């Protein structure tokens, strides 16, 4: 007896998963891309390439300084004052005979600590305030909005100076001040994006199916605001480098025993008319590093945001 099969054929599970991924990508406003697509797009732009190179050089310099510097960055030698650049001293020496290249190399550790520490604090503060300002009751959202408006009115340097006047100048004060200040900026930018995405059909469907707010936030909301979030974090690192240099220049940053680009600039600034090249090095390093973090953020935005990529292809 011959059995006649009726009805639709059983779909291939792999095909179903592939269509689901494509549908999810379409809902996010983009298209599925390979794991390396965003990396190639980042390196394809001059700004992204410079940002990556600048950050890699900074991290490499900080790592090398842990085990090696040509000279002791804290050792003064009165007999080596104001030597010009040479094979012995690549960037010359300062007013107390320290090797400028060694001081800058050791100061990169301070820069990396401040940049990474402030970015972590900014991420936590930004996500917490954005989530509370988007996914909670109306009175909580309005209170968070008012709090963000109040906190964002205080400049980062002013917040750091107030904290330093109370707790004393230290790297911790700089990290907390920059992290909290830019975390508020991240919350202000991300809150509107989270609220917009939270009203989309697939998020509403996930909520109706019983998915908790925490799972909705981590599985649907945060991945979709990642481009904006990454750019803001990169800018917070640039601001952290600038704030640390500025506060150290004013005497409220890293302790005197900790090598710092800003403190070196402050110590050499009175001699700019006599030894301008010695003053140029720390200012140039600070400028190139801040520019690198800013351009890295721009490159990451262009590489990860599908709306920017689609606009550039038109």
Task: Evaluate whether residue 7 is within a structural domain.
Answer: no
Is residue 245 assigned to a domain? yes
Q: Is residue 265 part of a domain?
A: yes
CA distance 51 to 35: 20
State the residue range of the domain holding 53: 39-72+92-312
What is the pLDDT at residue 1? Answer: 44
> Does residue 172 belong to any structural domain of this protein?
yes
Q: How many other β-carbons are positioned within 10 Å of the β-carbon of residue 311?
A: 10
CATH number, domain at 292? 1.10.3720.10
Quote the pTM value: 0.80
Q: What is the pLDDT of residue 83?
A: 92
In a domain, 148, yes or no: yes
> What pLDDT sits at residue 309?
53
Domain count, the chain: 1
Quick check: is 285 in a domain?
A: yes
Nearest CA to 220 among 206, 234, 235, 237? 206
pLDDT (tens, 9 = 90+) of the chain, 314 residues, equals: 444 444 444 444 454 345 445 444 444 444 444 455 778 888 888 888 999 999 999 999 999 999 999 999 988 888 889 999 999 999 999 999 999 999 999 999 999 999 999 999 999 999 889 888 877 778 888 888 888 888 888 888 888 888 887 887 788 888 998 899 889 988 888 888 888 887 777 777 777 777 777 777 777 777 778 777 888 888 889 988 988 898 888 888 888 888 999 999 999 999 999 999 999 999 999 999 999 999 998 888 778 765 555 555 54
Would you say residue 229 lies in a domain?
yes
Q: What does the H/E/C string look like for the chain?
A: CCCCCCCCCCCCHHHHHHHHHHHHHHHCCCCCCCCCHHHHHHHHCHHHHHHHHHHHHHHHHHHHHCCCCCCCCCCCCHHHCCCCCCCCCCCCECCCCCEHHHHHHHHHHHHHHHHHHHHHHHHHHHHHHHHHHHHCCHHHHHHHHHHHHHHCCCCHHHHHHHHHHHHCCCHHHHHHHHHHHHHHHHHHHHHHHHHHHHCCHHHHHHHHCCCCHHHHHHHHHHHHCHHHHHHHHHHHHHHHHHHHHHHHHHCCCCCCCCCCHHHHHHHHHHHCCCCHHHHHHHHHHHHHHHHHHHHHHHHHHHHHCHHHHHHHCC
For residue 291, the model assigns a pLDDT of 95
22 is a domain residue: no
Q: Which residues pair with 93 in a beta bridge?
A: 99
């Amino acid at each position: 007896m011959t059995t006649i099969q009726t009805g639709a054929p059983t779909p291939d599970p792999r095909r179903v998963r592939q269509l689901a991924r494509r549908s999810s990508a379409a809902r996010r406003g983009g298209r599925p891309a390979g794991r390396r697509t965003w990396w190639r797009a980042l390196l394809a732009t001059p700004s992204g390439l410079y940002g990556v190179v600048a950050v890699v050089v900074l991290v490499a310099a900080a790592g090398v300084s842990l085990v090696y510097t040509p000279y002791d960055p804290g050792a003064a030698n009165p007999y080596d004052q104001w030597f010009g650049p040479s094979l012995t001293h690549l960037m010359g020496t300062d007013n107390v005979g320290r090797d400028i290249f060694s001081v800058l190399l050791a100061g990169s550790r301070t820069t990396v600590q401040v940049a990474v520490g402030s970015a972590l604090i900014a991420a936590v503060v930004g996500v917490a305030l954005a989530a509370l300002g988007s996914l909670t009751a109306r009175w909580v959202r309005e209170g968070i909005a008012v709090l963000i408006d109040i906190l964002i009115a205080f400049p980062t340097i002013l917040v750091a100076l107030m904290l330093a006047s109370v707790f004393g100048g230290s790297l911790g004060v700089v990290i907390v001040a920059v992290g909290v200040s830019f975390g508020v900026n991240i919350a202000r930018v991300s809150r509107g994006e989270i609220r917009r995405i939270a009203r989309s059909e697939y998020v509403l469907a996930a909520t109706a199916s019983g998915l908790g707010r925490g799972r909705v936030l981590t599985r649907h909301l945060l991945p979709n605001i990642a481009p904006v979030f990454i750019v803001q974090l990169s800018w917070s690192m640039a601001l952290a480098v600038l704030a640390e240099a500025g506060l150290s220049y004013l005497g409220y940053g890293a302790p005197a025993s900790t090598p710092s680009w800003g403190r070196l600039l402050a110590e050499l600034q009175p001699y700019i008319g006599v030894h301008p090249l010695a003053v140029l090095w720390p200012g140039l390093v600070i400028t190139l590093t801040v520019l690198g973090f800013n351009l890295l953020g721009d490159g990451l935005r262009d590489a990860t945001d599908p709306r920017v990529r689609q606009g550039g292809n038109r």
